[in-house]
Amino acid sequence: MRIHRSILLATLALAPVVPANAASIDANSLFVDVFAGTNNPSGAGLRMAPGTDVYVDDAFLTELVFPDVTFSSSGNFGTAAGLEVLTGRNQVNVEWGDLDTASDGDDHGMAKINQQATSQEFTDPAIQDRALLTIFSGLSLTEMTDGEGGATYSFKVAFKNGIRDNNNGVDGVPEIVMFERGRNDNFNVRLITGGTFDLPVVTDPLSISSSDFADVGFRVNTREIGAPQTLGVGAYDLNDWGLENGETVYGYIFEGTGADMAGIFSSGFNDQFTAPIYMSSPLPAVPGTAAAATSVVPLPPGIALLAAGLAMAGILRRRQGTRAAA
């Protein structure tokens, strides 16, 4: 079933749409890498199957097992190449583990962009967008957004590589996996299917409740909370958004209130013989990348015709105005 598509304006001025809902694919188990030098209580230099540990330093996603598929390498997870906060800059900031330092070779998000920890609440786009990008461009599950809860915030992300699912129906092999602290938030996610980073073509939203997420088995204690909290993982098929066979997803638009996201990744295989999923080309014109700003992903035919019609209407209006003035 083909769903409604919109071109996302800079102001996020989308026509109101009632979000669809979908059930998360439950993960059987999860493994993380804990690097030598960690400040976590155990697992230094090991791949861990999380138990009841409380993580205060980095724990890197490395394996995720579902009934129908196992993603057993960090290379199976696609991360972010670009991020821009769209609304509610004062409602979201960067969060990290209480003892997240460079002792394990991976410092916290503010340090990665040469900022002091006290800059955590900054809303300057040049700082905030870069800091938030460090969360979604890496696989540490203790680095996350911290939603303030007072109002909605939203941001858009372009993946380093697009992802497609060549299965023409919802199955047990997810292409989008999400991690959220607390398992107590509701949010909407739209997928980017074309256009450019500045003017992406997006799907209708999918409404997601992290209360449906599976408990990963460990808890996280981060800078702005007073006690350890659970971490949940949710997983979704691209067909949950109504995408057709072979369509490419280049990123997503996230919108939530108070949500604490520890990552939203694509999941798949480069080797087409391993599973019927493969990564494809990145969305062009992402800030900070070498992609040419003039290169764009082709718009779906209906939207291309609509855009052409609107452009022609604008030309005609300008001509009519010129003639009237004469």
Same domain, 129 and 185: yes
SS3 assignment, position 292: coil
Same domain, 320 and 214: no
Residue with tokens 């604008």: 314
Tell me the pairing of strands 214-220 and 229-236: antiparallel
Same domain, 68 and 142: yes
Please give the single-letter amino acid code of residue 92. Answer: V
Q: Are 60 and 74 spatial neighbours (Cβ–Cβ below 8 Å)?
A: yes
Average pLDDT, the chain: 82
pLDDT in tens, 67-106: 999 998 888 999 999 999 999 999 999 999 999 999 999 9
What does the pLDDT read at residue 17?
A: 66
CA 282/CA 61 separation, integer angstroms: 22
Rounded to a whole number of angstroms, the CA Rg of the chain reads 20
Q: Which residue has the higher pLDDT, 44 or 4?
A: 44
pLDDT in tens, 120-146: 999 999 999 999 999 999 999 999 999
SS3 assignment, position 313: helix
What does the pLDDT read at residue 40?
A: 94
What does the pLDDT read at residue 234?
A: 97
Same domain, 322 and 179: no
Same domain, 312 and 250: no
Same domain, 227 and 318: no
Same domain, 34 and 139: yes
Task: Count how many domains the chain has.
Answer: 2
Same domain, 191 and 257: yes
Same domain, 273 and 323: no
- 83 has which bridge partners? 157
Residue with tokens 């540490």: 140
Same domain, 313 and 191: no
Please give the single-letter amino acid code of residue 301. Answer: P
Domain extent for 13: 5-295
Same domain, 274 and 316: no
pLDDT in tens, 157-178: 998 888 888 677 788 889 999 9
The structure tokens listed for 266 are 């694509």
CA 309/CA 307 separation, integer angstroms: 5
Question: What's the mean pLDDT in 267-274?
Answer: 55
Same domain, 309 and 275: no
Instruction: Residue 254: name the closest of 196, 195, 179 by CA.
Output: 179
CA 132/CA 263 separation, integer angstroms: 10
